[in-house]
Amino acid sequence: MRKQEGAGHMDMKEAERPMLILKDIHKFYGKNEVIKGVSLEVRKGELVTFVGPSGCGKTTLLRLIGGFTDVSSGDIILDGQRINDLPPNLRDTRICFQNYALFPHMTVAENVGYGLKINKWPKNRIEARVKELLEMVELHAFGDRMIDKLSGGQQQRVAFARALSLEPKVLLLDEPLSNLDANLRLVMREEIRNLQERLQITTIFVTHDQFEAMAISDRLVVMKDGLIEQVGSPIEVYERPANEFIAGFVGYVNFMEGRIASIDEKTRDAVIHTEYGKIEITLEQGDINNGDEVLMVIRPESVTISLDCGGKGQNVLSGTLKSYMYAGSLAKCTVKIVDRTMIIDQYNPRDAQQFKHAEKVVVEIPRSVHLLKKKS
């Protein structure tokens, strides 16, 4: 979302041409197909995150872009040039590995300046550039340190500075935050995002952490079993997941089956019949028709919960409270509705009504609920 505002400053032509294009990429290891046909376009200055469970092929795809592995078929086009056959040292992409891969026999400054030296920069320019980079990552006082004398977060910054030293066209980050502890991860996430936006550097970020992915990205690429399941902004992927897997992967979700009983073509109001009662919603999707079997994607925080006072409102289901777990910023409620349980997040529980075990409660399903068409 933020990116679209930024795009206004750019020359239209440049903004239109994707910085990186993946065209029907396949990758086999022996007979094992780990990437099964992936196509993607990444705009200049965009931060795109590959996210998915382990083994989904996200790191392999990153290594294919970096040139560490050959594609079995398909094309990789970087800034208009096909780079399939270029080895990593001739590609204008730079990678930051999960373990940082800093050279332990060199100082911080030597690490950051390694690429410049390899590319035969004159000594004074190397010095100036290294200084500039270290200032950028706030490590200017650490140039002479050896790598093992740095903390994890500092090592991460050095790796970042080293990858940026040659101003690559695309920066590849392979789970860069996974070796940091939780608090530091939040800080570094913000720093990386700020730097990336400031430098307008096209970045591909790989992570298995869906919340990290949503927080940092312009667009998410959700992968599973070597295929892209969905590409979209964090909001799109969270609010309008393409299928059950994505709905469950990007956050907790309550599913409920139903059948479309009627659709008002003008207002797009629809009625869904479920085995627990009638749910009325406003359809935002065009691909749902009357009579379709659907799955409602009900996010825990979108449901409101209150005590059952006997009255029967719209979209209200009644049930029994099975557990109420207070966790500071929210309370997790488990409600049993006939034969199923529903998880409900009640935010700011201090100011809300609190519930006791086995209390009769009602839950209200929002009208904005997202629907998945059931495949039969």
Q: Where along the sequence are the contacts to other proteins (CB under 8 A)? A: 63, 66-69, 87-90, 93-95, 97-105, 114-115, 118-119, 148, 152, 155, 162, 165-166, 179
Q: Is the distance from CB of 36 to CB of 198 less than 8 angstroms?
A: no
CA neighbours closer than 13 Å in the CB half-sphere of residue 86: 15
Q: Is the distance from CB of 190 to CB of 202 less than 8 angstroms?
A: no
Contacts made by residues 163-167, CB under 8 angstroms, sequence distance 24+? 163/94, 163/95, 163/96, 164/94, 164/133, 164/136, 164/199, 164/201, 165/94, 165/112, 165/113, 165/114, 165/115, 165/116, 165/129, 165/130, 165/133, 166/94, 166/115, 166/116, 166/119, 167/201
Residue type at position 81:
Q
Least CB distance from residue 18 to other proteins, whole Å? Answer: 22
In this complex, which beta carbon is closest to other proteins, that of residue 178 or of residue 334? 178
Given the structure tokens 């930051």, which residue do they identify?
96
Pick from 170, 194, 180: nearest CA to 2: 194
In this complex, which beta carbon is closest to other proteins, that of residue 134 or of residue 297? 134
Least CB distance from residue 132 to other proteins, whole Å? Answer: 17
Least CB distance from residue 97 to other proteins, whole Å? Answer: 4
Least CB distance from residue 87 to other proteins, whole Å? Answer: 5
Q: Is the distance from CB of 147 to CB of 155 less than 8 angstroms?
A: yes
In this complex, which beta carbon is closest to other proteins, that of residue 96 or of residue 221? 96
In this complex, which beta carbon is closest to other proteins, that of residue 89 or of residue 267? 89
Least CB distance from residue 181 to other proteins, whole Å? Answer: 13
Instruction: Report the distance separating Cα 324 and Cα 271, nearest Å.
Output: 31
In this complex, which beta carbon is closest to other proteins, that of residue 152 or of residue 248? 152
In this complex, which beta carbon is closest to other proteins, that of residue 57 or of residue 258? 57
Least CB distance from residue 104 to other proteins, whole Å? Answer: 4
In this complex, which beta carbon is closest to other proteins, that of residue 180 or of residue 294? 180
Least CB distance from residue 71 to other proteins, whole Å? Answer: 13
